[in-house]
Amino acid sequence: MISLAGLGYPSLLAALILAVAALVLHGLGALRSRKDLTEAGVRATTGSAVFVGLAVVSLVSALYAHDFSLDYVSRYSSRSLSPAYTVTALWGGMEGSLLFWTLLLTTFAAIALVRVDARTTRLVGWAGAVLAGIAVFFLALLVMPANPFTRLADVPLDGVGLNPLLQSPGMVMHPPLLYTGFVGFSIPFAFAMAALFSGHLDDSWLKATRRWTLFAWSALSIGIVLGGAWAYTELGWGGYWAWDPVENASFMPWLTATAFLHSVVIQEKRRMFKVWNVVLILLTYVLAVFGTFLTRSGILSSIHTFTEGSTGKWFLPFLGFMLLGSLGVVAARYEKLRSENRFDSLISRESAFLLNNVLFVAAALTVLWGTIYPVVAEATTGVRLTVGPPFFNSVFIPVGLAIVGLTGIGPLISWRRMSKGSLTRIVRVPLMSGTLTAIVLAVVGVRSTGALLAFSLCAFTAVAIGSEFVRGSRTHRAAGARWDSALLRTLLRNRRRYGGYVVHLGVILIVIGLSGSAFRSESQELLAVGESMTIGEYTLTYEALNQGQTDEKDINEAELSVARGGNYITTLRPQRNFHFAQEQPQSEVAIRTTPVEDLYVVVSSFDQDGTAAVRAFVNPLTWWIWVGALVMLAGMGVLLSNEKPVAVRAGVRKPAPEKVVVAP
């Protein structure tokens, strides 16, 4: 393959010039209501996306051509790196990942601006200007402090290569998905800003960007789960989430985005929460950019922090400008954003949604607090501190359980108001199921209060969701449909509602899996060949040491036979390998996974005589986390599959009444 590295920098410059042009054209087009200028702006945005694409092609070609004259290529790839992982070097380092960010941003912007419909033409100018402004910032970073096309004076023969930990299928997908999520929120953010600038504050910006929001949120959700799965299968400490600042950075925008997904429903139904929705989307986007900044600035101590580059000092003013600027615009438009309705009753769908929002935003702020507290404490008192998992768990267990309960109750409550009697009637069955679950588990011998509460709330919510499906499918069954086709019809007829329930069901399964961690056990022993250790009901016998070698690494594999109650179950083969390029050992975990529990084995070292330090974990219910994520994915598929046709049909059947703004 030929290296096109020479094309990279000129392409970035061209993209920057076009982004500046787009900013000016869109800005003028919006200010003077000139459609021709706006159209030129869209063309400039598209052109900028094309040139960023060219820069990416150039860097990827340099990676595959092993063009080590580029500093970036020499740092993040090597000749022995397999082709499948060579492409991941594109986002393996700071410069490349910023380039990838910019590619997504300009591409999404071009698609969103080209695909405008009648509802949003008046927003395009401003949205285009906002998106172009963000693109200018990132392109300026790429052209100046984070140039991925910097040349080396002395060209090395081989590159350093990619960290072996990152050479895993999960890591191929995890960063692009997170970035897709982060960057995807640019579109609703830009249209929200456009609504504020232009004063068209009805919900057309919400409806126009709903698919983008869902798409970004789905990508971020799956990306976060894949990150956890990667940590679980690669890092070898037996867990999947450590509340590390970089994990938190992706979790915070997810929390506010989840709040946003829910609260937009109230704006559409009841024309309330307008300020709140705008604030939520801008908070989400600022947190997404903050997340990118956190991972790239080195201001926080994190094992993930990739680099202590000079881009940090560029990000802070940009973040401050975005946050203050957008809040300023909200303040300026505050009067126009007043709700058109008020709460009628405490027991109403609106209140449930409001409580959901309060909990999600409080959760996000808690994570933010825990994440930046060390920085704040050091700046104010000079004392260096770290905030550990006990803090986050202490807040998240109660808040998370409250959210789980609310997930069950919320959809059962009607809009505006509901009598206590009908509420009692409708929650009776779910409530009984929850209580029954708690009793059965307590009798079986579960003693952890938190886990009992968690499982009974999950049962409550799962039954509540199930009862919604039963109620929804009643008419289809009355018409003679079999129960499975009735359920399917229910799901497909009202995808937004029932697709949402499927996502909820996935979340419940994930919560069940997370709750299993209350019963984890762990054991560590030094085993010579032939010796055994026990963990839980399992006996692990070290049968043999297998050794081998590939071009990349020396392989040392412990063959462990697993028995339970004297019966052989399986053989696990954890490895402790030595990677030549990185001159570093790396453990490969072996896991026997079942719906009941995972047996997780890792060898942390081998002695000269083959004695292995074996660390084993029994992780109950972890399997359900990944299954829950798949269910969520299915729900997201339903939600994303046809938003438009439903909206069109609904519009045909019941034209939206012309909105009447009542002067206060």
Partner 1 sequence: MDDQLEIPSTRKRTSPKFLWGGAVIFLALVVLVFWAMGRSGSTAYFLKTSELVSSGPSSAEPVRVNGNVVAGSVSHEGLASTFDITDGQTAITVTTDRPLPDSFRDDAQTEIVALGTYDGHKFTASEVLAKCPSKFKAKTS
Pick the stretch among 23-31, 339-347, 530-538, 630-638 that binds partner 1 (CB under 8 A). Answer: 339-347
Pick the stretch among 124-132, 199-207, 385-393, 507-515 that binds partner 1 (CB under 8 A). Answer: 385-393
Between 303 and 444, CB nearer to partner 1: 303
Closest CB 440 distance from partner 1, rounded Å: 30
The correct pick among 388, 450, 548, 645 for binding partner 1 (CB under 8 A) is: 388
Alpha-carbon span 368 to 370, nearest angstrom: 6
Between 21 and 533, CB nearer to partner 1: 533
Alpha-carbon span 31 to 7, nearest angstrom: 36
Select from 568, 584, 564 the least CA-distant residue to 576.
584
The correct pick among 587, 622, 631, 639 for binding partner 1 (CB under 8 A) is: 587
- Footprint of partner 1 on residues 458-497 (CB under 8 A)? 494, 496-497
Determine, following the binding rule CB under 8 A, whether residue 160 of this chain makes contact with partner 1: yes
Between 168 and 604, CB nearer to partner 1: 604
Say which DSSP state 346 is in.
Answer: S
Q: Which helix (H) or strand (E) holds 422?
A: helix 420-444
- Footprint of partner 1 on residues 416-435 (CB under 8 A)? 416
Pick the stretch among 211-219, 319-327, 361-369, 503-511 that binds partner 1 (CB under 8 A). Answer: 361-369
Alpha-carbon span 632 to 622, nearest angstrom: 16
Between 150 and 549, CB nearer to partner 1: 150
Between 51 and 353, CB nearer to partner 1: 353
Determine, following the binding rule CB under 8 A, whether residue 650 of this chain makes contact with partner 1: yes
The correct pick among 523, 582, 593, 642 for binding partner 1 (CB under 8 A) is: 582
Closest CB 108 distance from partner 1, rounded Å: 26
Pick the stretch among 389-397, 451-459, 480-488, 553-561 that binds partner 1 (CB under 8 A). Answer: 389-397
Select from 317, 67, 282 the least CA-distant residue to 196.
282
Say which DSSP state 149 is in.
Answer: T
The correct pick among 10, 325, 391, 543 for binding partner 1 (CB under 8 A) is: 391
The correct pick among 143, 323, 375, 387 for binding partner 1 (CB under 8 A) is: 387
Determine, following the binding rule CB under 8 A, whether residue 342 of this chain makes contact with partner 1: yes
- Footprint of partner 1 on residues 217-236 (CB under 8 A)? 236
Q: Which helix (H) or strand (E) holds 431?
A: helix 420-444
3-state secondary structure 517-570: HHHCEEEEEEECCCCEEEECCEEEEEEEEEEEECCCEEEEEEEEEEEECCEEEE
Determine, following the binding rule CB under 8 A, whether residue 646 of this chain makes contact with partner 1: yes
- The answer to whether the CB of 486 falls within 8 A of the CB of 476 is yes
The correct pick among 373, 469, 519, 580 for binding partner 1 (CB under 8 A) is: 373
Between 406 and 627, CB nearer to partner 1: 406
- Could you list the beta-strand ranges (E) of 25-107: none
The correct pick among 84, 316, 376, 385 for binding partner 1 (CB under 8 A) is: 385
Alpha-carbon span 234 to 604, nearest angstrom: 13
The contact pattern for partner 1, residues 39-78, with x = CB under 8 A and - = no contact, is ------------------------------------x---
Pick the stretch among 173-181, 185-193, 287-295, 390-398 that binds partner 1 (CB under 8 A). Answer: 390-398
- Footprint of partner 1 on residues 78-137 (CB under 8 A)? 93-94
Determine, following the binding rule CB under 8 A, whether residue 394 of this chain makes contact with partner 1: yes
Determine, following the binding rule CB under 8 A, whether residue 398 of this chain makes contact with partner 1: yes
Determine, following the binding rule CB under 8 A, whether residue 336 of this chain makes contact with partner 1: no
| Alpha helix segments (H runs only) across 231-273 | 245-270
Determine, following the binding rule CB under 8 A, whether residue 357 of this chain makes contact with partner 1: no
Between 561 and 582, CB nearer to partner 1: 582
The string over 428-437, giving b where at least 16 C-beta atoms fall within 10 Å of a residue's C-beta and e elsewhere, is eebbebbeeb
- The answer to whether the CB of 583 falls within 8 A of the CB of 594 is no
Determine, following the binding rule CB under 8 A, whether residue 165 of this chain makes contact with partner 1: yes
φ/ψ of 107, rounded to 5, equals -65, -50
Alpha-carbon span 115 to 191, nearest angstrom: 13
Closest CB 146 distance from partner 1, rounded Å: 10
Between 345 and 593, CB nearer to partner 1: 345
Determine, following the binding rule CB under 8 A, whether residue 445 of this chain makes contact with partner 1: no
Closest CB 589 distance from partner 1, rounded Å: 12
- For residue 280, what are its two tokens? 């939520």
Task: Count the site residues for partner 1 by CB under 8 A.
Answer: 71
The packing angle between helices 169-184 and 274-297, to 10°, is 140
Between 53 and 389, CB nearer to partner 1: 389
- For residue 231, what are its two tokens? 């940590």
Closest CB 44 distance from partner 1, rounded Å: 32
The contact pattern for partner 1, residues 518-557, with x = CB under 8 A and - = no contact, is ------xxx-------------------------------
Burial of 222 per CB tally in 10 Å (0-12, 13-18, 19+): buried
Alpha-carbon span 194 to 249, nearest angstrom: 26
Sign of the alpha-carbon torsion through 618, 619, 624, 628: negative
| Alpha helix segments (H runs only) across 587-622 | none
- Footprint of partner 1 on residues 255-314 (CB under 8 A)? 269-271, 301, 303-310
Determine, following the binding rule CB under 8 A, whether residue 151 of this chain makes contact with partner 1: no
Determine, following the binding rule CB under 8 A, whether residue 163 of this chain makes contact with partner 1: yes
Q: What angle do CA 493, 496, 499 make, to 5 degrees?
A: 85
Provide the 3-class DSSP secondary structure of residue 609: coil
Q: Any residues with CB less than 8 A from the CB of 457 and at least 6 apart, and which? A: 401, 404, 405, 408, 434
Say which DSSP state 348 is in.
Answer: S
- For residue 598, what are its two tokens? 């995972």
Between 181 and 468, CB nearer to partner 1: 468
